[in-house]
Structure 1
């Protein structure tokens, strides 16, 4: 299929050559001109002349207005696992096929989640800082210094999909009892001992010593985890959010962490606030949860691991190849379901 493909970033010569080598000879591959700075940055002005007649686009970010003028667009290769910031309504109206790269960062993100579980349980940062300061933690078995165990404990993986499945398998390696929660509990997942439906979530939370949120963000999951869910958790339990900040309601989480209702929290992702033009967009907790002593954090670093960037590009190219051959990309998403 003769096709024009637009790279949405300042692609390097090596990246452009890789795309051209994988696609049929008649494929036109273009990119904005300019000095490479970031794969997440290009402008409407730089992309406009190519976007108006591109049949396919591939990239990590889309400037506002580009989709609106891309009248010939048939395929968007979105080089992320998540895609909640795309304009689903417009894409559906234009009948654009959207393929993501779900799974490209699955193992890296799962490892980050397990790192958080271990760091919370073993009080890693607290003990590291104590050692740096030359402080002896005495008495040795005092409650405030004692680590938690993983072996023989129960962990709930809420959203036992690709990444959640990797988290479950890692947890089994530590001798944990793994409970999975997913929309369709009849679909098994390796490493999960018992699978539950999302309607059974609170029963699962009450049984769990560790809870890892690994669900996509959809209208059904937006801020679905609030006071009612936190109240049924054990006061000794830990909560890890490896998925999206907006899955959790901020105020109930703050109150649980500061009142002793929740032992600890860890996250690589934070809330995205956008309540209108008068309210500034923000990405960090308004209640400064990230500064609490029983919280450990990073900021969107779970995917920043060896092999991940290359795999995103490789799988995006695969979707382009499948589409150019007349097929539906293996990683096409359902715009009605939102994943």
Structure 2
């Protein structure tokens, strides 16, 4: 079995795969200049992916599937699989595993950090201190919001959403969950609802956190109608995918004060845009990230202690299962996308 490690791995990282699957041939990309060692070009893997049985990585270069004649398994080092051509992989008979749940704690912590940062106006108050500006006490423009006793709607009550719910309960918040299959239960949340009750949950929530996978059904599913259903002065946090939210209605709501604050670790991926995306400053064509009631981080939730090692461990586990013809614990449904 040949395993292609799709990043410029260290010797120790390569050895972890080799030790776990001792009979395998483990290779990495051809050395090349790169800004991040996780960058990957087709040229750097062309010779090896043609006969690789398994691919492990964060990036699948365009054209790779055209030459991957023996590929049987992709260990995708993300939770979301929307960047993969799932329909084609199904046709080719390639299985996919992902990292669902592996990063739930750091992402949940990031969501809580963003929520607190917005509620407590931390960036505004920090800058006031830096500038030496006075901060009036009990004034509308400086007063913080509370989490204690407030209601948070967690949209997507999977492993990440459940980890967020657990941490919100520690702040004595009421937690309402929305999930595709509410029959799976509320977990630590106080109540759980199906997607048909989304507006009901939005109307009750002081805070809304998006932690749902992006699929054909959820892409752009937060639009003007959903924002209108939210409470005036809601705090909205997105740690899932930028394209879950329609950007223009969100921008308008932030400008109008309908939304008190927006925080995101994820931003928009523009498709079929003209002028092309590269003409616009990332991460937002409207400049949402520059608004004073917005906190942003650039896909940094997983950039935390121990996460990389844990991600590698998860993929090693999947490769061991595959090499021993065992069921793949973290296999995704190629039709559902998760």
* Residue 267 of structure 2 corresponds to residue 270 of structure 1: yes
The residue number in structure 2 matching 1:305 is 304
Deviations 1:41-79, CA, capped at 9 Å, x for gaps: 232222112111111111111211111211111111111
* Residue 294 of structure 2 corresponds to residue 295 of structure 1: yes
Q: Given the superposition, is the C-alpha separation of residues 39 and 328 from structure 1 closer, same or farther in structure 2, using an over 3 Å criterion?
A: farther
Deviations 1:233-274, CA, capped at 9 Å, x for gaps: 111211111111000001100111111211111111111112
> Paired residue for 1:256, among 253, 256, 264?
253
Q: Is the 8 A contact 1:5 1:54 kept in 2?
A: yes
SS of the residue corresponding to residue 98 of structure 1 reads strand
Q: Given the superposition, is the C-alpha separation of residues 215 and 20 from structure 1 closer, same or farther in structure 2, using an over 3 Å criterion?
A: same
The residue number in structure 1 matching 2:199 is 202
The residue number in structure 1 matching 2:144 is 147
* CA deviation after TM superposition for structure 1 residue 277, in Å: 8.1
Deviations 1:280-304, CA, capped at 9 Å, x for gaps: 3564211101111111111111111
Q: Is the 8 A contact 2:74 2:94 kept in 1?
A: yes
Unmatched tracts of structure 1, length 5 or more = none
Q: Given the superposition, is the C-alpha separation of residues 32 and 91 from structure 1 closer, same or farther in structure 2, using an over 3 Å criterion?
A: same
* Residue 120 of structure 2 corresponds to residue 93 of structure 1: no
TM-score normalised to the size of structure 1? 0.95
Q: Is the 8 A contact 1:205 1:233 kept in 2?
A: yes
Q: Is the 8 A contact 2:71 2:94 kept in 1?
A: yes
The residue number in structure 1 matching 2:285 is 286
SS of the residue corresponding to residue 263 of structure 1 reads strand
The residue number in structure 1 matching 2:123 is 125
The residue number in structure 1 matching 2:133 is 135
CA RMSD of superposed structures (Å): 1.4
The residue correspondences of 1:1-339 to structure 2 (distance < 5 A) are 3-23=1-21, 25-34=22-31, 37=34, 38-138=36-136, 140-275=137-272, 279-281=276-278, 283-339=282-338
Q: Given the superposition, is the C-alpha separation of residues 126 and 278 from structure 1 closer, same or farther in structure 2, using an over 3 Å criterion?
A: closer
* CA deviation after TM superposition for structure 1 residue 31, in Å: 1.5
Deviations 1:141-198, CA, capped at 9 Å, x for gaps: 1111111111110000000101000000000000000000001111124320000111
* CA deviation after TM superposition for structure 1 residue 40, in Å: 2.6
- Of 45-54 and 281-290, the range deviating more from structure 2: 281-290
Q: Given the superposition, is the C-alpha separation of residues 232 and 42 from structure 1 closer, same or farther in structure 2, using an over 3 Å criterion?
A: closer
**C-alpha separation in 1, matches of 2:188 and 2:287:** 35
Q: Aligned residue pairs: how many?
A: 335
**C-alpha separation in 2, matches of 1:43 and 1:247:** 28
